[in-house]
Amino acid sequence: MTHTFDPTVLREYDIRGIIGETLGPDDARAIGRCFGSMLAEAGGSKVAVGYDGRVSSPMLEHALVEGLTASGMDVVRVGMGPTPMLYYAEASAADVDGGIQITGSHNPANYNGFKMVFQGRPFFGADIQELGRRSAAGEWVDGAGKVEEREVLEAYIDRMLDALAGIEGAALDSLRVGWDAGNGAAGPALEKLAARLPGEHHLLYTEVDGNFPNHHPDPTVEANLADLRALVAEKSLDFGIAFDGDGDRIGAIDGEGRVIWGDQLLMIYAEDLLARREGATIIADVKASRALFDHVAAHGGSPLMWKTGHSLIKSKMKETGSPLAGEMSGHVFFADEYYGYDDALYAGVRLIAASARLGKSVTELRGAMPPMVNTPEMRFQVDESRKFAAVDEIAARVAASDAVADSTDGVRVTTDDGWWLLRASNTQDVLVARAESDSQKGLDRLVAQIDEQLALSGLERGPQAGH
């Protein structure tokens, strides 16, 4: 018996497709068979499985468990919850060797997918390609694993609350925070967490609904923060926090309704952490503001720019021993007093902790950041066969000039008054561009440089591509 996946579903960081078109129960079963076989060969015997609130998730979970047990894996079913709850189940249990979360993350309601952990490390890139190869060849082992159900939600909440240990004072008790779960999988966990946090908490859309009736659960799109912004204004709250569909990405606004973007949140977390861990390496992706890297250095840290992608960032953290990393997309990774994975609920608790320890409100911390003028992330369609080649051509031209450039992930050119970036997406047939300056005039000039480089490679920044 063999199984061939639709070529579009085996992505760089996860497996993802459209239910009934490119992804279904047969795919889930094959993923279980192959992942289980690979884990068995590496000496593993038990896998934790969780799923998000999408309509298709229970069906895929059932088939995945069938595939895992057929490869001899014992399965720990942790039920419906956010992706970081599954990560917690894998990281905290001595008897668990791997984990799979069924989730469509922030994609439209008809999407779903799988995020995987293999013996404590991300399972991505070459691992996913090998899983696809094995499936097509029918290279899997046979066995008969057992299934158990394990309640982890209460322990997960307890573990997150450890972030507030040792912080005293009226500042915590007087805190007033808004939260928006976006009808995603984090809702029930958020209700339990908020009930145990100090201060006053106002919650939106905690009922899990895979059709996302109120707004799309992607907190990096400012329009999706409108309800949270209205709640913060109406109740005069200190700040607001929003989650994506599976609870591993955070969005935030301050008490004045200003968005606190991923790199700006990292500035707050870094300032708090570096007061206790001087010299620590703080990692951010190539899309992050120069203000962040300057802020880390100013507070005695060692800033490191790295490739975009949650799996790539996690791997770099392990390699460098970094206690904190983040991405513009709202993935924040705490290895400081935590496990090193991206957890938006925990990041929310750490924002409360950082504000209390620094003795400043989140609004004050946001207001102190240098005013920068930047573009949103611009994504435009480029033929799959052309996207990496075009970036290589642009990088070569930039290298031949006297520009200051970094080629960690695509090409990022730094000027006296800002920077611009062009990189190829690992998951779609798009190029991603971004620019930032300390003035609108500077930004216009930098965007013109991007357009000039694209034109030299026969491309243009045409229609914007979505996620």
Instruction: Please identify which of the residues 105, 289, 311, 457 carries the catalytic annotation.
Output: 105
**What is the extent of the structural domain holding 398?**
373-456
Whether residue 164 sits in one domain with residue 139:
no
Q: Please, are residues 332 and 326 in contact by the beta-carbon 8 Å criterion?
A: yes
Q: Is 37 a catalytic residue?
A: no
Low-confidence ranges of the chain (pLDDT < 70): 463-467
Q: Which of 334, 367, 400 is the last residue of a domain?
A: 367
- Is residue 7 one of the residues assigned to a domain? no
Beta strands per DSSP E along 165-323? 176-180, 200-204, 239-243, 250-254, 259-260, 281-285, 302-306
Determine the residue type at 185. Answer: A
Q: Which of 367, 383, 412 is the last residue of a domain?
A: 367
Whether residue 145 sits in one domain with residue 264:
no
DSSP string, 52-70: -S-TTHHHHHHHHHHHHHH
Q: Which position has the token pair 């052309």?
A: 386
Q: Please, are residues 107 and 177 in contact by the beta-carbon 8 Å criterion?
A: no
Task: Count structural domains, the chain.
Answer: 3
Distance CA 218, CA 60 (A): 23
Whether residue 417 sits in one domain with residue 320:
no
Whether residue 302 sits in one domain with residue 388:
no
What pLDDT score was predicted for residue 467? Answer: 47
Distance CA 312, CA 430 (A): 19
Q: What CATH number corresponds to the domain at position 326? A: 3.40.120.10
Whether residue 440 sits in one domain with residue 381:
yes
pTM reported for the whole predicted model = 0.95
